[in-house]
Structure 1
Amino acid sequence: MLWKKDCKQVQDRGNAMYTDLLNSQGLERIYERHKVSCIQMKCGYGPYEKNSKEALRFRQKGNAVFGEKKWMHAIECYNKSICFAKDGSELMGLAYANRSSCFFNLKMYRNCLIDLGHAKENHYPAEKMAKLDERKAVCLRMMEEEIDRSEAYHAKLCYEPNENFPCFANVLKVANNTKHGRHVIAMTNIEVGKTVMVDKPYFAETINQKFQRCNICLKTETNLKPCKTCVYTMFCSQCEENDLHKIECAVNQIHYSTLGFISFRMVVIRSILIALNTFSGIDELIAGVEEMLLSDVTEVPESLSEPQTKYRAFFKLCPNPKQQTDGALQRKVYLIYKLLMESAEFAKKFNSDEHKRFLMHLIGHHIIIIKDFIRNDRYKTGTQGVFGEDIEVYYEHCMSIPASYFNHSCAPNAYITSQNGSTVCVSVRPIRKGEELCVAYDEHVLLEEKAERQQMIQEKFKFQCKCKRCESPLLELLSRKPSLRILSDCNYQSFIADLNAMDDVKSISRDQQESLKLNIFSLLKKYKNHNWLYEISRIIYSLYTVALIESESLERGMPYVGRVLNFDLE
């Protein structure tokens, strides 16, 4: 059981350590299998060290993609070149210079100038320096003539931020009752299309977009810089000095290529590191955790503006902190515990039996929260992993504490998506003052009948949905009945035609994506007073389609229709 103390020690001394969660036989074999798996992955997926040949190969690949005008794909290749290049080498300077050309063609002129600076700082050849100066002059001229798109796709609140919950607009508040638990309600009427939450992740990690996103905050479309040790980690300028990756990098440099829980483990490790950074020492962390265990598990946080209040809110997401531990949880705790204790710096902090046992329970607590509340993209492979579990490949993990406060509805009035690393909530139906904001936990329920929706929610989220659409036979009937008025609307017909034309996401530019979103919200505003109809479901569902296309665009290279300047590449 989590957070159970040793009864014998309580009787003997009046105070006691937590029980040893890892005293079962056979756990050593789990760690041995993990080590073998890591060796196999290293042999099959290397190299994992700085490598000039790889840096050159990726830069040349980027040049080829650049010639096809796939700027984001080219940026990914140049990022790989930057990661494999030795720090301060000419290879790194050349890759930065080429990446600046991509930013220029994306009309992200500020980013272009930053990369020109990085190129000069990293031994860009002196005999070619005039090319960079010419590019800088053209860039500065274009900034005077056109709008700089460097910050064009960053989400922003439509209202002033909430003083205690800066990620929320000041029109929202978090409430709590026995029926709904923690939930979010509107403090005033909210129109369709209003961005009411923009939350940077409490912690996050990307697997498949590691050369496109900041390893700490998942920000993309920015001037990423590499880890100086490993070759699979990049940081934005705000996260460059963050110390979270230092221990992770030492724990295991090849975790990005592993599958199943092996990839999931690193986000748990990161959550433990954040807990340590939140308190001044281990004893203060223990005292804080023990106070939280004694207080109301359903409490609403006073704020999310300070590190300790954020961690308290995260810790309180565990619905039953003293629940029974099963064998699967025990094995996962064991592996993460062993990985952390491999770090000499970490082991020095947890050098007593009391601290080590506390760490075991803290890891278990974090695993339970992350398993239930973290937003991730994954798919099952049909094979089994180290623990005998079905392997799921995780693409991305993102922990948003405020997003966990939104309840589910099959007829939602808001939707949650990701935008450039942030978790964003936007209203999709009119919301009255005092009304709860609800989102669809799985967008596929929007288009399904009640029986299929109920089964989907029960299997995936372990509860029976009792939203107004599921509880009202009339609303369910209306949601399956076509609306001739909407179907005959030329704007709706144009919207459907645009959706059907998006089979090949490679042909969809970012401007076209933004235009489609504007059309979607225009339709939602036009029919805001209609009951929940099938066409409403389809329009809202399309928002998730656009979000998927945005993600696919990052992976495959975002095309852009406009002026192209083919600077000489190195």
Structure 2
Amino acid sequence: MQEFNNCLRKAEIGSDEIGLAYANRSACFFKMGMLQECLMDIEMAKKFNYPSHLMHALNARVSKCKRLLDEGQINANLCKVREPVLSFNEHEEYPGVADCLEIRQNDKFGRHIITTCDLQIGQTILVEEPFSIARDSRVDCDRCLGCFKYAQNFIACNNCVGRCLHCNEDCMTNSFHHIVCNSLIAEEYEEKIELIVKTIFSAIVAFSDIDRLMHTVELLLDGKGTSDLTNAHLILHFVHVVVNQVSLNEYVKLETGSRMDFGFFLPYAHGMYPFGCYMNHSCLPNVCSMSVDNRLICKVIRPIKKGQQIFRSYLNPSNLNYINPLTDRKLDVEKQLHMKCECNLCSGDAWTMLHDKSLKQSPFWKDATAAANMTEKAFRALSNETKEYYENRTIKFLEMYDRFHPLNDTLCVQWALIVMWNVLATHF
């Protein structure tokens, strides 16, 4: 499918190649069981000069799709996705934020997030849409560059050289693509500048007039409050946009047939999240960041007491699978994040817990690591009840032995849970 998307991007406008790309992509949708998407691509192929002598193949595929739809087999080959939902009521002021989270400020941490109640592993405390978002420069054509959904009926922009792909015209317009279309930006700065430009235009749209926008920025820079919290917080983030941007990552299998815990994470976008950006970094986070399309999801990965601060890792989630030596990790944090981490691990307070105590004798160990030892295909084939069983046993293990964290065993199980959550949140 990626190759046919690439064909759409590179095909000459008005050529038969566009119709052929849509037709061939429709075959991919049919194979995946995405029958409605298959029919939509067939219509696009007919619209864009699909060769008449090949039309019989498309008509036969249409008949098969309609027959399967009549039999109720829509999306039959797709795994069911666990749609992210808050475990609490939504905050009155901040969309997509649990009402147990609050912003606090002090001299040591600046603005930060605390919880007003005890939080348990597995609870979802953030499902936030971005204020602005830009693709990672390494992303080719697997996702819409507006909503960042995967495997859609993408259309290509007819104006830019790269023929950027979007779900539809509305998605293209809402993503401010026309602002950065054909922009001459050096590749190494492209994603950062694109994010800044989109943030500026999003801010202009969010405020009723430029005077109000400027007044809000002046208040924030002076350290004063403002009643327009969501927009105001975002403007303050814009002042430090490179540091505060959040990377969205997707789980990638190492190779077909490999165990799930052998996978890794690759960034596909970077966004500005008004609330999520306020979570401070820790190399021993108590929440893990996930992404579904363009949304930032935060789930509790360690028990958190009322009044404690919420920490997430700014580094790639793959770093949570192991602990680098202290010196190497500090250098990585300073180089990638332009900051010094003062978490318990980096300050040395947690190193006394890194001994050889093995938890593999635990009655929960086998179940807690069972899913990670499966292939992704085998895990997806399990019943929902079995998936939930392994998830609950993994959470129970982490709750029981949190006082020993970080050990190789607890890190291993924590990684298994993170991978499990990411697989459950995607079709593929």
TM range (shorter): 0.7 to 0.9
Say which SS state the counterpart of residue 527 (structure 1) adopts: helix
**1:533 shift after superposition:** 3.6
Say which SS state the counterpart of residue 447 (structure 1) adopts: coil
**1:300 shift after superposition:** 7.1
1:164 paired residue among 83, 89, 93? 93
AA partner of residue 208 (structure 1): R
Match of 2:102 in 1: 173
Match of 2:31 in 1: 105
- Do 2:365 and 2:397's aligned partners in 1 also have CA atoms closer than 8 Å? no
**1:78 shift after superposition:** 1.4
Q: Is residue 197 of structure 2 the alignment partner of residue 269 of structure 1? A: yes
**1:451 shift after superposition:** 5.2
Match of 2:270 in 1: 397
1:511 paired residue among 380, 397, 402? 380
User: 1:498–1:193: structure 2 CA closer, same or farther, 3 Å change rule?
Assistant: closer
User: 1:548–1:523: structure 2 CA closer, same or farther, 3 Å change rule?
Assistant: closer
For 2:336 and 2:175, locate their aligned partners in 1 and report how far apart those are by CA, in whole Å: 35
- Do 2:246 and 2:277's aligned partners in 1 also have CA atoms closer than 8 Å? no
What's the TM-score, normalizing by structure 2? Answer: 0.75
Match of 2:153 in 1: 223
AA partner of residue 234 (structure 1): L
**1:235 shift after superposition:** 1.1
Match of 2:130 in 1: 201
User: 1:134–1:213: structure 2 CA closer, same or farther, 3 Å change rule?
Assistant: same
Q: Is residue 118 of structure 2 the alignment partner of residue 189 of structure 1? A: yes
User: 1:410–1:521: structure 2 CA closer, same or farther, 3 Å change rule?
Assistant: farther
- Do 1:92 and 1:122's aligned partners in 2 also have CA atoms closer than 8 Å? yes
For 1:136 and 1:103, locate their aligned partners in 2 and report how far apart those are by CA, in whole Å: 10
Deviates more, 1:456-465 or 1:528-537: 456-465
**1:77 shift after superposition:** 1.2
Deviates more, 1:139-148 or 1:203-212: 139-148
- Do 1:110 and 1:150's aligned partners in 2 also have CA atoms closer than 8 Å? no
Identity percentage of aligned residues: 21
User: 1:198–1:117: structure 2 CA closer, same or farther, 3 Å change rule?
Assistant: farther
What's the CA shift string for 1:173-213, capped at 9, x where partnerless?
33333343222222333321122212233222222223111
The 4+ residue runs of structure 1 with deviation greater than 6 A are: 507-510, 512-518, 544-550
AA partner of residue 292 (structure 1): V
Q: Is residue 42 of structure 2 the alignment partner of residue 93 of structure 1? A: no
Match of 1:536 in 2: 410
- Do 2:284 and 2:344's aligned partners in 1 also have CA atoms closer than 8 Å? yes
Match of 2:178 in 1: 246
AA partner of residue 283 (structure 2): C
What's the CA shift string for 1:516-542, capped at 9, x where partnerless?
998466423333132124122233345
AA partner of residue 295 (structure 2): S
**1:291 shift after superposition:** 4.1
What's the CA shift string for 1:209-229, capped at 9, x where partnerless?
231112223222322221122
User: 1:523–1:542: structure 2 CA closer, same or farther, 3 Å change rule?
Assistant: closer
AA partner of residue 288 (structure 1): L
Give aligned pairs, total. Answer: 397
- Do 2:248 and 2:296's aligned partners in 1 also have CA atoms closer than 8 Å? no
- Do 2:101 and 2:116's aligned partners in 1 also have CA atoms closer than 8 Å? yes
**1:79 shift after superposition:** 1.1
Structure having the higher Rg:
1
- Do 1:198 and 1:423's aligned partners in 2 also have CA atoms closer than 8 Å? yes
What's the CA shift string for 1:248-275, capped at 9, x where partnerless?
21434xx5xx532255433333333333
Match of 2:236 in 1: 316
User: 1:493–1:150: structure 2 CA closer, same or farther, 3 Å change rule?
Assistant: closer
Match of 1:447 in 2: 323
- Do 1:201 and 1:422's aligned partners in 2 also have CA atoms closer than 8 Å? yes
**1:434 shift after superposition:** 3.0
Match of 1:411 in 2: 284
Match of 2:302 in 1: 429
**1:455 shift after superposition:** 4.8
1:476 paired residue among 332, 335, 351? 351
- Do 1:186 and 1:433's aligned partners in 2 also have CA atoms closer than 8 Å? yes
Q: Is residue 60 of structure 2 the alignment partner of residue 131 of structure 1? A: yes
User: 1:172–1:107: structure 2 CA closer, same or farther, 3 Å change rule?
Assistant: farther
User: 1:149–1:196: structure 2 CA closer, same or farther, 3 Å change rule?
Assistant: farther
For 2:369 and 2:221, locate their aligned partners in 1 and report how far apart those are by CA, in whole Å: 49
Match of 2:164 in 1: 233
AA partner of residue 313 (structure 2): A
For 2:336 and 2:80, locate their aligned partners in 1 and report how far apart those are by CA, in whole Å: 36
Query: What 5-or-longer segments of structure 2 have no aligned partner?
Result: 250-266
RMSD (CA atoms): 4.1
Say which SS state the counterpart of residue 212 (structure 1) adopts: coil
